[in-house]
A = this chain, B = another copy of it.
Amino acid sequence: MGSIIAFGEIMLRLSPPGRGLLLQSPHFEVGVAGAEANVAIALAQLGHDVAMVSALPDTSLGDGPLATMRGYGVDCAHVLRSAGRMGLYFVEPGTGSRNTDVIYDRAHSAFIETPPEAWAWETILEGATRLHLSGIIPALGSHGAAAATRAASVAERLGIPISFDGNYRAKLWESWDSDPRSILTELIAKADILFGNHRDIALLLGRSFSGQGPARRREAAEAAFAMFPRLKLMASTSRHIEATDLHRLSARIDRPDDYFETGEIVISGIVDRVGTGDAFAAGVLHALAQGESDAKIAEFGLALSRLKHAIPGDNLIVRPRDLEMLSAHGQDVRR
């Protein structure tokens, strides 16, 4: 397996322990977060050669997440240490009839204040087999948009395939004088893999899709393939939420001329829903790299996503020896 480069912000995640609330909590649990970092961590555990490109403050606060990522096996040689603050986010995981609540505190972070030219993309991407980006970086402001575009452009020039996870966050885009449609369009035009569903595509194309269920999803995918000729694969999930800890989920792979959609599985006893999309993306990228069929790709992505719902924190924890368990529903104690 070749080397995968993920570019994005590494954040510190602070959340109340157990099922507590931010307001009540006398202490916060500390973890590592960030959509692209989550993908990198999952892929590294599965045996991929993964490097994270990012920036962290040169303080104890930056040392911690750096150590965590290295611990999972992610190459952090291109994580710059610079001035600026640590990007934080506070999560109050919901349960039963209480929603998960998130407070971002990532403005002015060392990452977002790093000038795009600080990363030597030609060097970084040399010999890489893939660059993974998400829609969060460009949403962070003009600095982020420039950084993402620069990375994508170098990758394009070097012929390195790009995977792009939509991760559309309206609030972030609305916080500055942004034009998400044109920025995202430019980025996705360079990608061969897009993680996103019909809502993402509707936004990019400025239109809506009239059908229902799988038909609507296919209609949107076809529109995307028409607009983005380099795109070879789209991956998405459909989620139905019955309670904060009880969801139903299916996964889908679209190709320009074919698609596969899994059945819907029930995910009960949800511990932490955050990061389940990143786990899906990692699963798809892994199965794809293994040369699996689209059905297997969709199912493996769904299996990793399902597992993440049962793991506290942002990061999927999965080792090759766990893979055999993934397809099994409702197994007993392993001993």
Residues of A near any B CB (own CB < 8 A): 14, 17-30, 58-61, 63-64, 66-68, 70-73, 85-86, 88, 90, 92, 94-105, 107-108, 169, 171, 239, 241-246, 266-271, 273-274, 306-307, 309-313, 317, 319, 321, 325, 328-335
Contacts and interface: CB of A to CB of B under 8 A. Distances in A.
A274 B333 contact: yes
A85 B102 contact: no
Nearest to A16: B30
Contacts of A97: 267-269, 306-307, 309-310, 329
Nearest to A313: B24
Nearest to A94: B310
A192 to B, nearest CB: 28
A67 B72 contact: yes
B241 A269 contact: no
B23 A63 contact: yes
A60 B21 CA distance: 9
Contact of A311 (B88, B98, B239, B312): B98
A305 B71 CA distance: 25
Contacts of A58: 321
B99 A333 contact: yes
A278 to B, nearest CB: 13
A134 to B, nearest CB: 14
B22 A269 contact: no
B90 A61 contact: yes
17 contacts: A18-B18, A27-B29, A28-B28, A60-B90, A60-B103, A70-B73, A96-B267, A96-B268, A96-B269, A96-B271, A98-B307, A99-B333, A100-B332, A100-B334, A101-B333, A171-B335, A241-B331
B273 A18 contact: no
Contact of A21 (B73, B268, B306, B317): B317
Majority secondary structure of chain A interface residues (helix, strand, loop or mixed): loop
Contacts of A333: 94, 99-102, 273-274
B67 A23 contact: yes
A317 B66 CA distance: 14
B67 A310 contact: no
Given A64-B23, A103-B61, A104-B335, A271 B92 contact: no
A196 to B, nearest CB: 16
Nearest to A245: B269
Nearest to A321: B58
A95 B267 CA distance: 11
In the complex, which of the residues A97, A266, A273, A328 has the most CB atoms of chain B within 10 Å of its own CB atom? A97
B268 A245 contact: yes
Nearest to A18: B18
Nearest to A103: B59
A215 to B, nearest CB: 23
Contact of A64 (B19, B22, B96, B243): B22
A103 B117 CA distance: 28
